Chains A and B, each alone.
Chain A
Amino acid sequence: MDAVLRAVAMYLALMVLFRVSGRRSLNEMTSFDFVLLLIIGEATQQALLGDDFSVTNAVVVIVTLLAIDVGFSLVKRQSKHIEKLIDGGPTIVVENGGYLRHRMHEARIEEDDIMQAARLSQGIETVEQIKFAIIERNGQISIIAK
């Protein structure tokens, strides 16, 4: 029983903590973010398994984590509101060549982040060439050129 409780507690704790830390796409991960994820994984492993390193315990923990994950995806399919609460929604941060600075401030996005995404995806040089820049649910910035 405690293996299931450990897995549920860690899943929920990590979900809240990653929600608090904000959206960040795996594509935009810096090398430090990668190291941080490794450390978090290491710290989580002990709490998930405790003193029990048996195959059964590992399987129970993995099955529980997958069950919660599938459960959440089913709940999200049932309710758009819950889906938005868990994953957030897309947010426009550049509209017709102009920055929406209040939104950028609240979303903690800099002009440089948007222009980097614009250069990488579309080879765009100036913000005037952007029709829309959108922070997607996975944290990536997508660019629609004029």
Chain B
Amino acid sequence: MNAHDQEMQDRRHPVDEDIALQRRIWCFERLGWYALVLVVILAMCGLFSHGWLSTTTVSSPKKDLIVEYERFHRSGSVNTMLIHTQSVAGKTHIVVIGKAILEGFSVDSIQPQPAHSAGTQEGLRLTLPGDDQGTSTLYIAWRSEGLGLYRSEITLEGGSHVSLTQFIYP
């Protein structure tokens, strides 16, 4: 028996030791430190919102609908979504935000104010004025209120649609 093994023997006096269990606890502590560092690194990368793992852009094949959004959200926090649309110059753009997203999020603010908005069976129908180049950009601040995974769609009426996958942490 070497010095290390001898040292790691249980003592009965003056306290009753369980070194095997204590070593497992120390091992758990060490693994825990690595886990803490991993959590910090993943948080920096955006696993818990705001970072390259979270911030993403999805665009339709025709590039007439581009949505910038966060994949990961934390319950109660506010994140911005940008919706760029491209259509015929001088005409209004009608964007339909699928109802799935509205079940997990509420609209905190919306800029610019749409010319017209209506709730439909498909979701929220927003009418946006296009500029001279036929483009428009909508800024929506979403407050996360649900929990878990949400798959939703944003549609440019008479054009394309894109699918979004978002996850809300508790």
Footprint of B on A, CB under 8 Å?
Answer: 9, 16-17, 19-22, 50-51, 81, 84-85, 88-92, 95, 100-103, 106-107, 132, 134, 144
Contacts and interface: CB of A to CB of B under 8 A. Distances in A.
Contacts, number: 57
Given A50-B76, A89-B22, A19 B29 contact: yes
Interface in B9-40: 11, 14-19, 21-23, 25-26, 28-29, 32-33, 35-36
B132 interface: no
Contacts of A91: 17, 19, 22
A92 B25 contact: no
B22 A88 contact: yes
Contact of B35 (A9, A20, A102, A106): A20
Interface of B: 3-4, 7-8, 11, 14-19, 21-23, 25-26, 28-29, 32-33, 35-36, 76, 170
B14 A20 contact: no
A49 to B, nearest CB: 11
Contact of B15 (A85, A92, A100, A101): A92
Contact of B17 (A50, A81, A90, A102): A90
Contacts of B8: 102-103
A103 B7 contact: yes
A84 B7 CA distance: 20
A50 B53 CA distance: 26
A85 B25 contact: yes
B32 A89 contact: no
A22 B29 contact: yes
A101 to B, nearest CB: 8
Contact of B32 (A19, A51, A85, A90): A19
Given A20-B32, A88-B22, A90-B15, 20 more contacts: A19-B32, A20-B28, A20-B29, A21-B29, A50-B76, A84-B18, A84-B21, A88-B25, A89-B15, A89-B21, A89-B22, A92-B11, A92-B15, A102-B3, A102-B4, A102-B7, A106-B23, A106-B26, A132-B14, A144-B14
Contacts of A84: 18, 21
A41 B31 CA distance: 25
Nearest to B32: A20
A101 B7 CA distance: 8
Contacts of B26: 106-107
A85 B14 contact: no
Nearest to B25: A88
Interface centre among B15, B33, B35 (most CB of A within 10 A): B15
28 contacts: A16-B32, A19-B25, A19-B28, A19-B32, A20-B28, A20-B33, A20-B35, A21-B32, A50-B76, A51-B76, A84-B21, A85-B25, A88-B22, A88-B25, A89-B15, A89-B16, A89-B17, A89-B21, A90-B17, A92-B14, A92-B17, A101-B7, A102-B4, A102-B7, A106-B26, A132-B14, A134-B14, A144-B14
